[in-house]
């Protein structure tokens, strides 16, 4: 008896990201199907499976990009680990599987290397993760000066 193997496949979320227009970028005339989404200073290019902060490439693997794209598509909403797993790996998460946590950590580390002044993925302990780009140190309000 053989055990089934999960093969990598494009995720619905990564595909849906390709249809979301960038808030800051306009398509040049004659070009259609731009596959770019912008979140603060982070740009996701689904057609290239690339993430950029400014002009710096983040250097994500395909799977890391998929995890980031799934979270980014649900910006400001908490996603359960099992839901992220289902969207990226295409199956049910086994008990005590830490794949989502490992990949979120890898994505965070790579994003922090190119944008240390920003945080993108927030942990909701016991629930999952939320994508919400925020500066690490918010600007001073000037109160009390």
**pLDDT tens sequence across 64-90:** 999 999 999 999 999 999 999 999 999
**pLDDT tens sequence across 40-61:** 899 999 999 999 998 899 999 9
The model's pTM is 0.73
In a domain, 27, yes or no: no
Inter-CA distances, 136 with 6, 12, 29, 115, 119, Å: 37, 31, 37, 10, 6
In a domain, 3, yes or no: no
Domain ranges, residue 38? 12-20+34-135
In a domain, 68, yes or no: yes
Burial class (CB in 10 A: 0-12, 13-18, 19+), 33: exposed
In a domain, 144, yes or no: no
Domain count, the chain: 1
């Amino acid at each position: 008896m053989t055990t089934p193997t999960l093969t990598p496949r494009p995720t619905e979320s990564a595909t849906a990201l390709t249809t979301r227009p960038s808030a800051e970028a306009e398509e040049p005339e004659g070009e259609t199907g731009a596959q770019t989404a912008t979140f603060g200073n982070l740009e996701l290019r689904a057609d290239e499976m690339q993430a950029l902060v400014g002009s710096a490439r983040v250097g994500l693997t395909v799977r890391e990009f998929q995890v980031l794209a799934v979270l980014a598509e649900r910006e400001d909403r908490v996603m359960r680990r099992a839901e992220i797993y289902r969207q990226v790996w295409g199956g049910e998460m086994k008990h005590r599987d830490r794949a989502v946590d490992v990949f979120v950590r890898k994505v965070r580390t790579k994003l922090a290397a190119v944008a240390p002044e920003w945080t993108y993925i927030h942990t909701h302990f016991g629930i999952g993760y939320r994508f919400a780009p925020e500066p690490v140190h918010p600007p001073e309000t000037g109160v009390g000066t």
